[in-house]
DNA sequence: GAAACGATTTGCT
DNA sequence: GCAAATCGTTTCT
């Protein structure tokens, strides 16, 4: 499979992404995400992701059904779901599962392997880039380093000519799992599922933060 | 039409 | 370690 990466490769990759997010997530570890924007090219190697199972998952944005914001998650796999968080930040997901389901994988952290200077510059503009390790450690930092924002909502990451490209890698030999970050209050039981995946011995993996206590509405 | 909340990050005490 | 920043989306009256 190595040499040719055109239509058939994309089709195969799309088929793999069409599995449930929980199955796809570990396969994305080690994969490369590349953005080709007017100001340059940045590539990140994914070291941490989280699975979200759509309508049946209290922690998912799609739990309460389809809306204008999460519509892309209900579509075919391989597209980008970008949302704005806390007014300031952006987070990016890769849509998974068959067309009609709303599962997706949140890109939580990665290692910048190409375009380090550009990523550093973007992060410095937004805030303070302390070190290379911090460039893409955390979902909003990752999106910033890649230059992702709402204009990339729905982008096809398997389009070789697209501005956002996902390059699958060989499945990592070993990874770790644990509870997801920051979604404890939403469903309670949701945190019982180890739907966070990360690579061992990676300094770029974001630090674990205990979920906030449940709060009634 | 109005109010509350959030898959976070950063800065300050 | 804790609280503020900041604003679109969702939900309720």
Nucleotide showing the shortest C1' distance to residue A150 CA: C8
pLDDT in tens, A142-159: 999 999 999 999 999 999
Nucleotide showing the shortest C1' distance to residue A68 CA: C9
Residue spans of the domains in chain A: they are 11-199
pLDDT in tens, A14-35: 999 999 999 999 999 999 999 9
Max avg pLDDT among A130-134, A143-147, A185-189: A143-147
Q: Provide the 3-class DSSP secondary structure of residue A53.
A: strand
CA-CA distance, A40 to A130, in Å (whole number)? 21
Nearest alpha-carbon partner for A10 in A169, A153, A164, A157: A157
**Counting beta carbons within 10 angstroms of the beta carbon of residue A176, is it exposed (0 to 12), middle (13 to 18) or buried (19 or more)?**
middle
| Residues in Cβ contact with A112 at an 8 Å cutoff, skipping those fewer than 6 apart | A42, A43, A44, A119, A132, A135, A136, A145
pLDDT recorded at residue A69 = 97
Confidence class for position A182, pLDDT limits 50, 70, 90: confident
**Protein-covered nucleotides on strand C (Cβ within 7 A):** 5-12
CA-CA distance, A213 to A49, in Å (whole number)? 23
CA-CA distance, A200 to A177, in Å (whole number)? 10
Q: What is the mean pLDDT of residues A108-130?
A: 90
Estimate in Å the CA A59 to C1' C12 gap, whole number: 21
CATH of A11-199, one of 3.40.47.10, 3.40.630.10, 3.10.300.10, 3.30.70.1450: 3.10.300.10
């Amino acid at each position: 499979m190595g040499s040719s990466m055109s239509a058939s490769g994309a089709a195969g990759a799309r088929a793999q992404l069409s599995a449930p997010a929980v199955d796809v997530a570990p396969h994305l570890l080690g994969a490369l995400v590349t953005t080709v924007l007017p100001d340059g090219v940045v590539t990140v190697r994914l070291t941490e992701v989280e699975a979200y199972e759509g309508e049946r998952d209290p922690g998912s944005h799609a739990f309460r059904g389809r809306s204008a914001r999460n519509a892309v998650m209900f579509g075919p796999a391989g597209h980008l779901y970008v949302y704005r968080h806390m007014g300031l930040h952006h987070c990016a997901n890769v849509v998974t599962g068959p067309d009609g389901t709303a599962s997706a994988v949140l890109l939580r952290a990665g290692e910048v392997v190409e375009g380090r200077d550009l990523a550093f510059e973007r992060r410095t503009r937004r805030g303070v880039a302390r070190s290379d390790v911090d460039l893409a450690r955390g979902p909003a930092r990752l999106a910033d380093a890649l230059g992702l924002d709402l204009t990339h909502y729905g982008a096809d990451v398997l389009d070789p000519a697209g501005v956002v490209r996902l390059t699958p890698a060989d499945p990592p030999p070993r990874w770790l799992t644990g509870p997801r970050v920051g979604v404890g209050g939403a469903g309670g039981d949701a945190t019982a599922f180890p739907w966070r995946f990360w690579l061992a011995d990676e300094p770029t993996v974001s630090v674990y933060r205990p979920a906030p206590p449940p709060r009634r509405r």
